[in-house]
Amino acid sequence: SLPDVWLAVEKDGRHRDHDWVVQLDPAAAFLPGRLRWRLKTSGGAAAQRRYIETDSGCGSADALQVISMPAFEALLKGTETCQKQLHQQPAGTGEFLRGCLDLLKASPMEEFSGILSDNSGERGLCPISPCWDSSKVAFSSFKSAQDLLACLREAQECSMSRNGEVISCSGRRQ
């Protein structure tokens, strides 16, 4: 379960060397440089109990979780309380994680909404973002490793300006 993973991370201890903890679905293409740039502009949020709400509204909320260190430390200490009070939600879901963080007085960083793109294309209602879209830090729901790697290649072929905007992509139009 997810709480077991958190306890393993706590035991390992390396998370304490960082301001943020990132949990990622293995079927997601993640661009840490894009996230790092966005977090640098967040004005001290790393020192507070904050988390990034990544639900795209398309069922991919569990694909990416980003939690500040104070919120993660509170989560580690409060997991048992959350399990007792949020027993109706499975402990391995993003819904449980968000409910637990809210219970522990962490607040979502709504200015980061939309940083995750669900690229499954199955629902027809959810727009698929091209991997060069600099407003996204992760792209989820790939059906194959080849598709995931193609997305990463496309994103890496793009040059970004200092303010995070895409300025050129090898032969692609923005």
Q: Output b/e per residue, 133-142; b: 16+ Cβ within 10 A.
A: bbebbbbbbb
Show the tokens assigned to 125: 């209602």
pLDDT at 61: 60
Mean pLDDT per 10-residue segment, the chain (174 residues): 78 92 87 87 80 69 85 90 78 77 91 77 61 84 86 77 58 45
d(CA 124, CA 122): 6
Question: Residue 170 has what pLDDT?
Answer: 59
What is residue 106's predicted lDDT score, i.e. its pLDDT?
Answer: 94
The pLDDT value recorded for residue 173 is: 43
Pairing of strands 50-52, 107-108: parallel
Cα separation, 130 vs 10, in Å, equals 36
Which pLDDT belongs to residue 111?
A: 80
- Rounded to whole angstroms, how far apart are CA atoms 117 and 83? 29
